């Protein structure tokens, strides 16, 4: 099976995670611990969001 988890985009010098997939970490927020992926906006499959 192939996946794109090892893809890294060259965005110049900076943090080791710059240009990589965000891991689903536990984050400390004002409302307590939350998983990183729960803070991302929901997007229906097959669509993309533009800003």
* 12-37 core/surface letters (b: 16 or more CB in 10 A; e: else): eeeeeeeeeeeeeeeeeeeeeeeeee
Q: What is the pLDDT of residue 26?
A: 92
Q: Do the Cβ atoms of 25 and 35 come closer than 8 Å?
A: yes
Is 2 or 46 the better-scoring residue by pLDDT? 2
pLDDT tens sequence across 1-40: 566 667 777 888 888 777 777 788 899 989 899 998 888 8
SS (H, E, C) 24-35: CCEEEECCEEEE
Q: What is the pLDDT of residue 24?
A: 85
Q: Do the Cβ atoms of 43 and 36 come closer than 8 Å?
A: no
């Amino acid at each position: 099976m192939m996946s794109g988890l090892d893809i890294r985009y060259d965005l110049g010098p900076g943090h080791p995670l710059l240009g990589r997939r965000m891991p689903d970490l536990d984050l400390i927020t004002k409302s307590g611990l939350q998983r990183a992926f729960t803070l991302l906006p929901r997007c229906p499959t097959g669509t993309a969001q533009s800003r």
